[in-house]
Structure 1
Amino acid sequence: MKKEKILYLECYSGISGDMTVGALLDLGGDKEGLLKVLNSLNIDGYHLHFGRKEKCGIDAYDFDVHLESHHHDDDQEHHHHHHDDGHDHSHDDDHAHSHSHDHTHDHHHSHSHVHRNLYDVMEIINRMDGKDSVKAMVGKIFSIVAEAESKAHGLPVEQVHFHEVGAIDSIIDIVSAAYLIDSLNVDKVIVSPLAEGTGYVRCQHGVMPVPVPATANIVKAYEIPLKLTDNQGEMVTPTGAAIAAAYHCKEQLPKLYSIKKIGLGAGNKDFEQANILRAMIIEETVSEEQAKDHTSMQVLETNIDDSTGECLGYVMDRLLEAGAADVWYSPVYMKKNRPACTLHVLCRKDQMEEMEEIIFNETTTIGIRSYSVNRTILERRNQMVETSLGEAKVKLAGYKGKYRCYPEYESVKEISRKTGLGFQEVYHIVKEAGRKYEG
């Protein structure tokens, strides 16, 4: 069985846009591809910094967006205070908009104050070369911030003008984070509780408490755990909180896991602890005791006589995605000779509650029965084999040192579609190629 590739964001020093990008680049995100994507946005007035810096003696990736000094907007009417990816914000509201920044995390530079609403930002995003899924994620992150600012300022979303999130540096941060996460080809993202500072920050609208209203609105709306620390100032920025919210799967770390890669993104401010965002690629591991437990399983059953076939198919998909070992239906006759079906779910004991929740939420049943069963399973492993049609995946099932080869359906289907050959013909070719692993 293929192990899930999990991206874990460890936010013990908060999270911001540039720290996230730095950590993802350090983790092995596609830098060259990112530069091409950013060039396709057709925006100028900035240059990127890629480097290293030490935080409490730990070497971390330092990413920053530097705006060109001539790139300013002289409009003084702001609907949105600037705290994109920084912390202690001291803002001089003169005509030139010079900003003095003491930033924990992101951009330590002079900022652009181009006012853009969400529609303007989406126009820029739509120019981007790349996957539609990445564009959609970028739009989702901006929408999360827009909704939070809308609530904070009591304005409709379409009337929220960004000189923070609409600024070039934030567009770069959000596009970069979405692209790099996609380039890592992870199956899901787990986000730790967000560590936040205390006290106040000064911005254009005055002195605001930490977490600032936009950040507080995001963590509330998306139920992201927040942990306050003794550090003074902002540690979680609205951009960082929005990235966390967009990817947060509300799952806990596996009880046991192996670390495959580590990436560290550096913040600017110094705390007692290392001011870094740590990103890790991890895979769940199973102990010997857990492996033994797999032979003892639970079967959940319920009879259903008032559901459509489409609904039943959806429920099966949900249960399998949640980790059920098997799901099947059998036809039955219920009271008054009503034709119906019985839903059967095979799972581990520690999965029962999750499986029951899916069944109760997605079907019309009002009761589930369960019982324990034992099963004996063969040793299984995946293997890539070379065939005359290219590489194909097979599953090898072993018993007492002897293995049988079974071509994987998805692999056979893909080759069949590419070559135009029939499924059975491709299946036979793949099976023959895998016979050398049998015996």
Structure 2
Amino acid sequence: MTNDVHPIRSAWFNCHAGVAGDMTLAALVDAGADTDMVANTIAGLGVDGYAMFFERVQRSGVSATWANIVTHDGLHDHDPGETGGHGLHRPAREIFALLDAAELPDRVRDRARTVFERLAAVEGAIHGIDPADVELHEVGALDSIIDVVGVCAALESLDIDQIYCSSIGLGSGIVNTAHGQLPHPAPATMALLTEAGAPTHGLDTTLETATPTGAALMTTLASSFGPMPGGTSHAVGYGAGTADPPGRANIVQVVITVGAGWAD
């Protein structure tokens, strides 16, 4: 063991307007993640039937990046504010096999697998079945697999060691899922947030501001929730959701900070 000091790079996600997988990915790209590295890492999954574009947009006057992911099922189906059907689903064991066989950097694979393991455990408890047998509908769709692996790749591109998250904004009402209309926030989203003890706050909207993919990413990868940690701000990024509601910027903000830490 050495006692060499090295800079610890952290990412703090400001999710006061909610969080979704594509918004998280877009925020990291906006903060400087290499899009070629992200695309090449996703290509390591060995799947096809998708296209990914990063576009500049405005959300309530804030310039942000939008991750436009198109699959054979249609446009990205996990953005807050979107309704209707979801893409094809996959059993959890199929996703684990896909990740295990993929050509991915070790930390990308480990982080992505842990996200899906957490989701499968929560869904298994909700439905009363073995986590490996869970059919992940919304989060098992191709676009959400791309979201999760893309986020983990973007974190690797930015060399992020620690991840933190703010309180997460939640809407209310009804959400359309593969199981039909369910209370919003969706059961999987609330189970993830509750199990992690994540702080939340209500938003005056019926839009699905926090998706299962976004909740799984934050509750799995974040080491703690609360205010921005100390350190020197190195970069900031804004990831846009598809919906553009009046009076509220539908964005996830990420702040990359650098601070001193101890190497193992």
TM-score (norm 2): 0.88
Identify if the C-alpha distance between structure 1 residues 86 and 222 changes in structure 2 by more than 3 Å, giving closer, same or farther.
same
Identify the match of residue 34 of structure 1 among 4, 15, 38: 38
Shift of 1:255: 7.0
Which among 9, 25, 31 is matched to residue 29 of structure 2? 25
Give how far 1:181 is off.
Answer: 0.8
CA–CA distance in 2 between the matches of 1:25 and 1:39?
Answer: 17
1:59 aligns with 2:63: yes
1:273 maps to which of 248, 251, 256: 248
8 Å CA contact retained: 1:254, 1:284? no
Quote the offset at 1:180 in angstroms.
0.9
Moved more, 35-44 or 17-26: 35-44
Deviation digits for residues 235-279 of structure 1 (CA, Å, limit 9, x no counterpart): 110100010011111254467543221111011112321111001
Q: Aligned partner of 1:278: which letter? A: Q
Report the residue type matching 1:48 in the other structure: M
Does residue 240 (structure 1) correspond to residue 214 (structure 2)? The answer is: yes
Q: Which runs of 5+ in 1 are unaligned?
A: 72-82, 92-98, 100-110, 286-319, 322-408, 411-439
- Counterpart position of 1:200: 174
Partner of 1:85 in structure 2?
Answer: 78
Match of 1:195, SS state, is strand
Q: Secondary structure at the match of 1:51?
A: strand
Distance verdict in 2 for CA 1:255–1:185, change over 3 Å: closer
In 2 relative to 1, CA 236–254 (structure 1 residues): closer, same or farther, beyond 3 Å? closer
Of residues 157, 173, 177, the one that matches 2:147 is 173
Q: Distance in 1 between matches of 2:48 and 2:179?
A: 29
- Please list the CA deviations of residues 313-338 of structure 1 after superposition, one character each: whole Å capped at 9, or x if unmatched: xxxxxxx97xxxxxxxxxxxxxxxxx
| C-alpha distance in 2 between matches for 1:63 and 1:145 | 22
How far apart in 2 are the matches of 1:178 and 1:137? Answer: 6
Give 3-state SS (helix, strand or coil) of 1:63's partner.
strand
Q: Alpha-carbon deviations, 1:266-296, whole Å to 9, x = none?
A: 11112321111001112469xxxxxxxxxxx
Q: Deviations over 1:174-222 (max 9, x none)?
A: 0001111122112311100111112222334333222110001001111
Report what 2:165 is aligned to. 191
- Aligned partner (choices 9, 15, 19) of residue 13 of structure 2: 9
- 1:249 alignment partner in structure 2: 223
C-alpha separation in 2, matches of 1:132 and 1:53: 33
Residue 86 of structure 1 aligns to which amino acid in structure 2? D
Asked if 1:214 is matched to 2:168, the reply is no
Residue 121 of structure 2: which of 140, 143, 147 is its match?
147
Letter in structure 1 aligned against 2:172:
T
CA contact (8 A) 1:34 1:176 kept: yes
Please say if residues 15 and 252 of structure 2, whose CA atoms lie closer than 8 Å, have aligned partners that are also in contact.
Answer: yes
Q: CA RMSD in A?
A: 2.5
Q: Separation in 1 of the partners of 2:63 and 2:191?
A: 33
Counterpart residue number, 2:91: 117
Name the counterpart of 1:50.
54
Deviations 1:5-57 (A, max 9, x none): 22110001111010011001111112111221122211111111221111011
Q: Which has the higher contact order (CA 8 A, sep 6+)?
A: 2
1:362-401 to structure 2, matched below 5 A, reads none
Please tell me the residue identity of whatever aligns with 1:133: R
Contact 1:20–1:265 (CA under 8 A) maintained in structure 2: yes
Helix, strand or coil: the match of 1:44? coil
DSSP-derived class of the 1:230 partner: coil
Q: TM-score, normalised by structure 1?
A: 0.55
Q: Please state how far the C-alpha of 1:86 moved relative to its aligned partner.
A: 3.0
User: 1: CA distance between counterparts of 2:129 and 2:105?
Assistant: 32
Distance 1:84 1:137, change over 3 A: farther
